[in-house]
Amino acid sequence: MPAFRQVGEKQLPQEIIFMAWSPKRDLIALANKVGEVLLHRLANFQRVWSLPPNENTGKEVTALAWRPDGKILAFGLADTKRVILCDVEKPESLHSFSVDAPITYMHWMEVTEESSVLTSFYNAEDESNLLLPKLPALPKNEEKSDEIMKLLGDVRLNALVLGGSSGFIEVYAYGMYKIATVIGVAGSCLGLCFSSDLKSLSVITEVQVSPDSVPEITYFQLDTSLLSVYLPEVTRMARKFTHISTLLQYIKLSLTCMCEAWEEILMQMDSRLTKFVQEKNTTTSVQDEFMQLLLWGKASLELQALLMNQLTVKGLKKLGQSIESSYSSIQKLVISHLQSGSEALLYHLSELKGMASWKQKYESLGLDAAGIEDAITAVGSFILKANELLQVIDSSMKNFKAFFRWLYVAMLRMSEDHVLPELNKVMTQKDITFVADFLTEHFNEAPELYNRKGKYFNVERVGQYLKDEDDDLVSPPNTEGNQWFNFLQNSTHLKESPLLFPYYPQKSLHFVKRRMEGIIDQCLQKPADVIGKSVHQAVCMPLYKGSKSEDSTPRLFKLPFMWNDKSSNLHYVLFTMLESSLSKIYILRRHTDVSRSAANGLLAVDFGNFLNNSINESSDTSFYSCIDAHFYDDETITVVLKENAEQEGKERILAQLPLSSVYVDEDQEREFSLNSSKRLDEQSDDIPTRTIFLESQWRVLENMKAQYVAVNGIRKVSCVLSSNLRHVRVFEMDVEDDGEAEEEEEEEETTQIVGGEHEELNLSAVNHSSVCGGSAELADETEEHESSLDS
């Protein structure tokens, strides 16, 4: 029986350029050349969902990474320089942010370091849940509200590390907020590995001095001990940053819902009146026309035509209902969502300000109390503008209600229709004055407004607050006679007082929100700069000359590959240096503590003839080259090998390489003494070599020109991709006997389908019996069944 059991095989319609297994589930994320991101499950390689390329987000996927809990998938887009965080449950973007350079690699790690301080923080209930009310779900979009909260994830710190061109490296806590901008690394990033204790960051870059020169592959080890020393403080600070970022996302969505609640029909009155001005032949102003109707009950023929033929009784009724419905919805959103989110934002910023005041703990991390105070002030200004909008809505609803009631009766009388008794009441002097004031304020022709907006009137005052533009409000609130406003304007001391939030009467709610976001971003940017500057280079090791091959295959599919062994605090780098067929694999290991060098070393591995000439019986010295390698777990490397024999149809082999067979003699790897003035490939003859004869953990990949592999040791699975980037095979790696394997598979399937945990995917059941054989039939992509991800 061959090692490893094949459970799926597929020919895909598009070339696959990235593969990444979920760390917690039997799911694999793929990206293809057309910019589509796909999620497949292990069984039969069945597709769960696909996210097509988007003009707004981007079409050129250049990196994939899973959050350590497997609930969020991140991918980078080169054409738009954006990073997208996508929910595993459905193909939708939960969060996105821009970066300064195209992303070439991303690594998402979880901190495993333990301490009493961290443990108490992890176990303590978040005080904000006790002190703040739960944010209400967004209307018609309740799932979106829950999804935003998913961005917070577990309390334990995790970090998304991004590498790009021109030495670009940034670290995002919880994948949300930037906590470090690393400088001083040259070249385009090929690989990243952040140690789980945050002591060091290993980076491999490709440096090309000129377009004609051959690129040089270089290994850097960066000392990030500041993050390690202040780990409890970094965790608390990062958690606050993530709360703040999540709340900004919530406020943004709330404002989007408000814009959707505002309807274009509300602009009808402005457009009809503007058309009336352009077409009427009399010199009487519109305001006077309506005043005459109010005071004398008679309208000119032109006004009658406007009211009865264009606006109509039915249209007026519909407009009144639309305004009442729209304003009520916006009012509820401001009170329940916008104000709740803003108050929670104030709470977390105030907490952050208190942390910044503890200089012994947080000053070294760049937390700036003055900058946070500016952010608090900006949130206060946003709350003031939201309250102003509430006042405008309240006033507009009263005005429109009185105006439409009067105009409705007047139009019924013009049409000689029956007026209901409850409407046919004599207007009091107070009612007449109220409507007259409304006409005076709202029905005054404004030629300068026509030049700006193409209309003479701005009867509807709420929509201007929801427009995302820098222009001043068309009709700002009238502050004349406001005693508090006049008092502040006349008081030189209070006008500039830090105790009062600045007020921007001329600006829209969107403008004040964007200003608030900018100030918060600026305030939270300083820690990233300070922490980034504390990172310094501990090791710089030129490895080898790269290839000037015209091969356009993305670099993620090519060695080197990096791995962090959490148990022994080691970084491993797997790479090959020769383009010839006799390619060895080199294993470099470095301790994550840059001050310790005892565990550092370098070994080369080549593979002897372990097939016993079963493939090529005429060859007595058959051996193999490594064409791809990934760490399966801390103790095993999964490799794809090819024969070096000179014959047609060389077989490809999938094999497991135990590290215990490589590191037999601990002193052997230390025999090599690095000459720092030379590249590693110039010293390759001096590197100690281990020849490995694999015994059982290998399998010949028949009828497949295998080239790349993606593995997941936690789920015990691997996915092999052919050199044409379309043909994939999926294997279960640790298989006992067929009977036990089938039982385990059935139990796992039952758990996934029936399990009550909310975070587990409830995928549609799949008949595993069809995939238990040695190979699965190739299925066309069009015959794939979409698998649901209902939680």
pLDDT band, residue 440 (cuts 50/70/90): confident
Is residue 647 predicted with pLDDT exceeding 80? no
Highest-pLDDT range among 265-269, 295-299, 783-787: 295-299
- For position 424, what pLDDT does the model report? 62
Tokens matching residue 154? 């577990």
Q: What is the mean pLDDT of residues 634-655?
A: 81
Helix axes 369-414, 339-357, angle to 10 degrees: 170
Owner of token pair 């887009």? 77
Sorted by sequence, the CB contacts under 8 Å of residue 578 that are 6+ apart come out as 584, 681, 684
Q: Give the 3-state secondary structure of residue 440.
A: helix
- For position 717, what pLDDT does the model report? 92
Within 10 angstroms of residue 509's Cβ, the number of other Cβ atoms is 25
pTM of the predicted structure, to 2 decimals: 0.80
Mean pLDDT, all residues of the chain? 81
Give 297 or 145, the one with higher predicted confidence: 297
Give 654 or 778, the one with higher predicted confidence: 654
Query: In terms of residues, how long is the chain?
Result: 791
Whether 235 contacts 111, CB under 8 Å: yes
Mark residue 759 as left, alpha or beta (left: phi above 0; alpha: psi -120 to 50; beta: remaining). Answer: alpha
Phi, psi of 399 (to 5 degrees): -65, -50
Rg of the chain over all Cα atoms, to the nearest angstrom = 34
Phi, psi of 458 (to 5 degrees): -135, 65
Sorted by sequence, the CB contacts under 8 Å of residue 342 that are 6+ apart come out as 251, 379, 382, 383, 386
pLDDT band, residue 381 (cuts 50/70/90): very high
- For position 582, what pLDDT does the model report? 54
Q: What is the mean pLDDT of residues 564-576?
A: 86
- For position 355, what pLDDT does the model report? 93
- For position 429, what pLDDT does the model report? 78
Give 400 or 162, the one with higher predicted confidence: 162
pLDDT band, residue 617 (cuts 50/70/90): very low
pLDDT band, residue 599 (cuts 50/70/90): low
The span from the CA of 164 to the CA of 81, in Å, is 10
Q: What is the pLDDT of residues 18-57, one digit of tens each?
A: 999 999 888 999 999 999 999 998 877 889 999 998 877 7
Give 259 or 580, the one with higher predicted confidence: 259
Q: What is the pLDDT of residues 405-429, one digit of tens each?
A: 888 888 888 877 666 666 566 667 7
Is residue 744 predicted with pLDDT exceeding 50? no
Q: What is the mean pLDDT of residues 119-123?
A: 77
The span from the CA of 502 to the CA of 500, in Å, is 6
Q: How far is CA 756 from the centre of its chain?
A: 27
The span from the CA of 655 to the CA of 629, in Å, is 10
Is residue 612 predicted with pLDDT exceeding 60? no
Q: What is the pLDDT of residues 534-564, one digit of tens each?
A: 999 998 888 888 776 555 544 445 678 888 8
- For position 384, what pLDDT does the model report? 93
Owner of token pair 């097939």? 611
Of the listed ranges 315-319, 528-532, 745-749, 764-768, the least confidently predicted one is: 764-768
Give the residue among 315, 323, 350 at the shortest CA–CA distance from 262: 323
Whether 449 contacts 458, CB under 8 Å: yes
The span from the CA of 200 to the CA of 570, in Å, is 10
Tokens matching residue 675? 């000459």
The span from the CA of 672 to the CA of 432, in Å, is 98
Is residue 153 predicted with pLDDT exceeding 70? yes
Q: What is the pLDDT of residues 686-718, one digit of tens each?
A: 888 888 888 788 888 988 999 999 999 998 999
Is residue 442 predicted with pLDDT exceeding 60? yes
pLDDT band, residue 158 (cuts 50/70/90): very high
Is residue 774 predicted with pLDDT exceeding 70? no
pLDDT band, residue 580 (cuts 50/70/90): very low
DSSP symbols for 660-698: HHH-S-TTTGGG----TTS-GGGGGGGS-EEEE---SSE
Owner of token pair 């054989």? 773
Burial class (CB in 10 A: 0-12, 13-18, 19+), 492: exposed
Whether 175 contacts 108, CB under 8 Å: yes
Q: What is the pLDDT of residues 460-515, one digit of tens each?
A: 788 888 888 778 888 888 777 778 888 888 887 787 777 888 888 888 899 999 99
pLDDT band, residue 147 (cuts 50/70/90): low
Tokens matching residue 606? 């080549």
The number of helices, as runs of H, and strands, as runs of E, in the chain is 19, 29
Sorted by sequence, the CB contacts under 8 Å of residue 619 that are 6+ apart come out as 609, 613, 645, 647
Is residue 791 predicted with pLDDT exceeding 50? no
Whether 575 contacts 216, CB under 8 Å: no
Give 533 or 678, the one with higher predicted confidence: 533
- For position 1, what pLDDT does the model report? 44
DSSP symbols for 691-710: EE---SSEEEETT--EEEEE
Is residue 742 predicted with pLDDT exceeding 50? no
